[in-house]
Amino acid sequence: MDLYDNPERLFDGVRTILWPNGEPEIWFQTDDCLSVRLRVSNGSAGLMLTINRFAGGPPVTVTGNMPPDEEIAPQRDQTEVTICQY
């Protein structure tokens, strides 16, 4: 599959838009108007993924496993989330 020519096929039921308006990001949208923007960078803080909602959309809900015992962190609603790996 050529992702550039067929981004719609990446995830079933999700519209995937690569390089919208020439920007280095990816947009994901569903038919029921849920949508997020993904940006990726590599800098002094390591590999960073930033996910944020579109204006007027519902917040992004975040949860995760917390070491050392892998306890699940409480869910939190955010307008933007940044994940770093360093």
List pLDDT tens digits, range 5-43.
Answer: 777 778 888 889 888 888 899 999 998 889 999 999 998
List pLDDT tens digits, range 49-70.
Answer: 999 998 888 888 887 776 766 6
The tally of domains found in the chain comes to 1
Task: Tell me if residue 64 falls in helix, strand or coil.
Answer: coil
What integer pLDDT is reported at residue 70 of this predicted model? 67
In a domain, 15, yes or no: yes
Tell me how crowded residue 86 is: count the other CB atoms within 10 A of its CB: 8
List pLDDT tens digits, range 33-49.
Answer: 899 999 999 988 899 99
In a domain, 16, yes or no: yes
What integer pLDDT is reported at residue 52 of this predicted model? 93
pLDDT, greater one: 2 or 13: 13
Which range of residues forms the domain containing residue 14?
7-85
In a domain, 52, yes or no: yes
In a domain, 1, yes or no: no
In a domain, 41, yes or no: yes
In a domain, 71, yes or no: yes
Please determine, for residue 1, whether its predicted confidence score (pLDDT) is greater than 70: no
Cβ-Cβ contacts under 8 Å for 1 (sequence gap 6 or more): 9
In a domain, 2, yes or no: no
